[in-house]
Amino acid sequence: MATLHTVNKSPFQTQTLLSCLSHVQAGDSVLMIEDGVYGAMGSTTLADAVAGLGGQVNLFVLGEDLAARGIDAGRVADGITKIDMDGFVDMVASTDRTQSWL
């Protein structure tokens, strides 16, 4: 019974991503969208915290939102998978529930 969690806030602006990652269960997926995609960048002061808390879950980031913000795929941290809008739709359809962290 896995959950797909979406986070749409910048981790530099709110605690939402870290709170989400502190509540997720093993096997869940976390997808960073909109301003949440900044949480997927490697080499930031938050990258270690995200990698540490996210160790038990599958981490994803939405490619369209990365592109809008000028973040090259090469800047995404190791262990985070880039997906596109179609992939997002597929994930929602195939998961038991979706939880939006606003």
Partner 1 sequence: MSEDVKKFLYVNRKAPYGTIYAQESLEVVLIGAAFDQDVEMAFLDDGVFQLTKNQDTKGVGLKNFSPTFRALGDYEVTKLYVEQESLDERGLTLDDLQDIQYEDEDDDWAEKPSIRVVSRAEMGKIMANQDVVLSF
Where do contacts with partner 1 occur on this chain (CB under 8 A)? 8-10, 12-13, 34-35, 38, 41-45, 47, 63-65, 67-72, 75, 84-85
Least distance in angstroms from the C-beta of 70 to partner 1? 4
In sequence order, what DSSP letters do the residues of 34-90 get, joined into one string? GGGGGGGBSSSTTHHHHHHHGGGSEEEEEHHHHHHTT--GGGBPTTEEEE-HHHHHH
Least distance in angstroms from the C-beta of 48 to partner 1? 12
92/38 Cα distance (integer angstroms)? 21
Contact between 29 and 56 (Cβ < 8 Å) = no
Please identify, using beta-carbon distances, which residue of 28 and 66 lies nearer to partner 1: 66
Least distance in angstroms from the C-beta of 61 to partner 1? 13
Please identify, using beta-carbon distances, which residue of 2 and 87 lies nearer to partner 1: 87
Least distance in angstroms from the C-beta of 9 to partner 1? 7
Distance of CA 27 to the CA centre of its chain: 14
Please identify, using beta-carbon distances, which residue of 4 and 7 lies nearer to partner 1: 7
